[in-house]
Each structure stands twice: as structure tokens, then as C-alpha cells.
Amino acid sequence: MLNAEQFAYRQISDDFGGINVFPHLPLILHYENNSVNTLALLDTGASVNVMPYQIGLQLGAKWEQQNTPIQLAGNLANLPAYGLLMTAAISKFSPIRLAFAWTRSENVPLILGQVNFFMEFDVCFYRSQEIFEIRPKMN
């Protein structure tokens, strides 16, 4: 992929003592005057980007002040969530605006999904090699 950057899959332990690898992308999230260095799971099956409650708090977001409710689906359908816009810095690429469903749950990872991460970046997964590549969309 032209203008792409490669990242390694990360090892994650499960609740049963097993280890697996997943495509986690390092990024810096910016909201108002705060920032957080974190990892996000790239999930092509997720409709939206999802942010756990604690990360939103670390960024200075106030749950009580949110006014854009989001209805999540699937495993997260019973969780309350609000829309939250922020800027993400990913490696050497220009910062980008991402929309998240900020959920009250702590038991969900930071997820990058179809709306709007995969609308802004092209991604190639090479699972057998435990690497993935991303590049900004072509305008």
C-alpha cells in the first residue's frame, strides 16, 4: 500500500490464561485541552467507534453534559452511550476527527469501527504475519 504504515498485532491474554494476537493501533486522542495515549482495537465488524467510560473521563468529558444519545447494537445494545467528537493523532498521519459512541461501560475496549475510522483509513490485515497496514483514504 502506498503511503501506508505497518503495525504489529499485539498479544492479549484472555480470561482463561490463553494468549492471542489482535490488531491494536497506538494513537493519541485529543479532546478540548486533554490528551490520552492509548491503543484501539481495529474491528471491521463494529458499526461505530466505541470509547469506554474511563477514557472519556481522562479526556475531560462530562457524562452529565452529553446530549447526543447513541443506540449501540449487538453485545453493547444494553449500554447507554453518547456521541463524542475528538481528534486522533495516528503515527505520521495528519490528525483526524473521529466520532465515538462513549459508553458508560469499563468492560469494552476502545474500538475503531466502520463509522468513522474505516471511512477515513484503508486497512490491510496480514493475520498470518501478525501485521496490518493503514493509510489515509485517497481524496
Q: What is the mean pLDDT of the chain?
A: 94
Structure confidence by residue, pLDDT tens digits, 77-104: 999 999 999 999 999 999 999 999 999 9
> Strand, helix or coil at 139?
coil
Q: List Cα–Cα distances, 37 to 20, 27, 56, in angstroms.
A: 23, 6, 12
- Identify whether the C-beta of residue 21 lies closer than 8 Å to the C-beta of residue 73: no
- Identify whether the C-beta of residue 27 lies closer than 8 Å to the C-beta of residue 80: no
pTM: 0.93
| Domain spans in the chain, listed from the N-terminal domain onward | 24-126
Domain at 24-126: CATH architecture: Beta Barrel (2.40)
